[in-house]
Structure 1
């Protein structure tokens, strides 16, 4: 089984990352899916999305859970029946799951030049410390996007905007962590965020 990485940011929080090398059939065969989960995966038009969906269920098994333990609320946020907090991500050949005693969010993104085209849509304050002339501009943008996506998943509140409501404090790529803030409806929330790179991808996750 290609469990790619296991990260423990603290005693309450564990991240597991899966590298998707198996076929759709090999991923599906050992799983016991709920009827609505099976309906979802069969209805997906892309085999890449099918394999991503199924690899997440294998990650659940690595944590000791099954598909039956997972459910989603009206905002699309995943939950576990035992009350632990969970966040899920999938990007191309990687998927990731974070489980914690506290609210968490996770995101995996492929590092691609086209992120620079949309930077103005999700970056504001952060332009104070990153520049198009930076050697690692694309990687830094990917970290910022991943952190903000993680915060969005954690908070799961419709109406939040990456550019207006999320702030990522200056960081160096080799730091592997920084602080981020949500400034929303006259309230401020502080989060610890972590990030790492592997095989042209960036993973970011956030905890209170």
Structure 2
């Protein structure tokens, strides 16, 4: 099974990334789904989404969990029955899961030119340091999007805006980490964020 990468940001946190090469049938045979999950995956119209869903369950197994150990709260945020924090992502043929004692969020995105057409929807403060970026503009935008998506997932609060409430400190060319903030109503929270690139994809994960 293609466990693509394992990252240990600290002693309480582990990230595992899966490269989805198996067929839908092979993935189905590799996992045990509770009835609600089986109904959900069979109802998906896209096989890519089905395989992404199932690969996440394979990652759960890699952490020592089963599908039955995973639930979602009223805001759609996943949680584990043993109390550990979890965040989940998948994009095309990659999926990722992060598990930690701390509050965390993760996102994987494919690097695509079309992200520039929606930049105005999620970039605010960051525009001030992106204006001189030329050669790696798409990559920088994708990193910022991934970071803000990971913040959105860990905060899991209706009304949170990527543009208005999430702020990403300038990203240095030779670094793979930065600081990000959520400034929402009377809440100001600081997060350590790490990111990496592989095979035309970007992954970012935030840790409170």
Fold match (TM-score > 0.5): yes
Q: Distance in 1 between matches of 2:18 and 2:48?
A: 14
2:61 aligned counterpart, secondary structure: helix
Q: Distance in 2 between matches of 1:110 and 1:173?
A: 19
What is the deviation of 1:73? 0.6
Unaligned runs of 5+ in 2: none
- Which structure 2 residues correspond to residues 66-105 of structure 1 after superposition, within 5 A? 66-105=66-105
Q: Distance in 1 between matches of 2:109 and 2:68?
A: 27
State TM-score, norm by structure 2. Answer: 0.98
Unaligned runs of 5+ in 1: none
State TM-score, norm by structure 1. Answer: 0.98
What is the deviation of 1:131? 2.2
Contact 2:30 2:58 survives alignment (8 Å): no
Q: Distance in 1 between matches of 2:98 and 2:5?
A: 12
Contact 1:140 1:173 survives alignment (8 Å): no
What is the deviation of 1:187? 2.2
1:82 aligned counterpart, secondary structure: coil
* Superposed CA offset, 1:125-165 (max 9, x none): 00111127521100000000000000000000000000000
Determine if the alignment matches structure 1 residue 185 to structure 2 residue 185: yes
1:55 corresponds to: 55
1:31 corresponds to: 31
2:152 corresponds to: 152
* Superposed CA offset, 1:95-127 (max 9, x none): 000000011000000000000000010000001
Determine if the alignment matches structure 1 residue 194 to structure 2 residue 197: no
Determine if the alignment matches structure 1 residue 116 to structure 2 residue 113: no
* Superposed CA offset, 1:56-87 (max 9, x none): 00000000000010000111100000000000
2:46 corresponds to: 46
Q: Distance in 2 between matches of 1:71 and 1:207?
A: 21
Q: Distance in 2 between matches of 1:19 and 1:148?
A: 23
Runs of 4+ with >3 A deviation: none
Q: Distance in 2 between matches of 1:13 and 1:187?
A: 24
